[in-house]
Amino acid sequence: MAKTKENWNALNENERNIIENKGTEYPFSGAYNDFKEKGLYVCKRCEHPLYSSDAKFESGCGWPSFDTEITGNVKQILDADGRRVEILCNQCNGHLGHVFRGEMLTSKNTRHCVNSLSMLFVPNHREG
């Protein structure tokens, strides 16, 4: 399903700002913040599977939140500010957002805070 660098999806200016320049969309502005359909979220640039809708939850933070990624598909690195943990697509290194722990919002105690513009949604797709 994931694409190679030669055929990555074209990105508009806002998408490039987030995915390539590590920007952030405004809270409560993203298409997937209040989105509740079942399916799979994939990287907007390379279509690498990132999150199942089963892992999505309401956090109230203003961005789509997931308590777990598809194993091995999301990379975590220390952010340039040295305080947060950045999340990237493990296929193309596109910036997704940040991960936070210890908030007690779910039983997994983890929140992947993801920019809607970093993802595409594939309806009715089940992981596995």
Domain residue spans in the chain? 9-123
Contacts of 51 by beta carbon, 8 Å cutoff, 6+ apart: 40, 41, 66, 68, 69, 70, 74, 112, 114, 119
> Model's pTM, two decimal places?
0.91
Q: Tens of pLDDT along 12-52?
A: 999 999 999 999 999 999 999 999 999 999 999 999 999 99
113 classed as catalytic:
yes
- The matching CATH number, chosen from 2.170.150.20, 1.10.287.70, 3.40.50.1220, 3.90.1150.10, for 9-123 is 2.170.150.20
Going by pLDDT thresholds of 50, 70 and 90, the confidence category of residue 125 is low
- How high is the pLDDT of residue 18? 97
pLDDT band at 82 (very low <50, low <70, confident <90, very high): confident
**What's the confidence (pLDDT) of residue 126?**
56
Q: Which position among 46, 89, 92, 113 bears the catalytic label?
A: 113
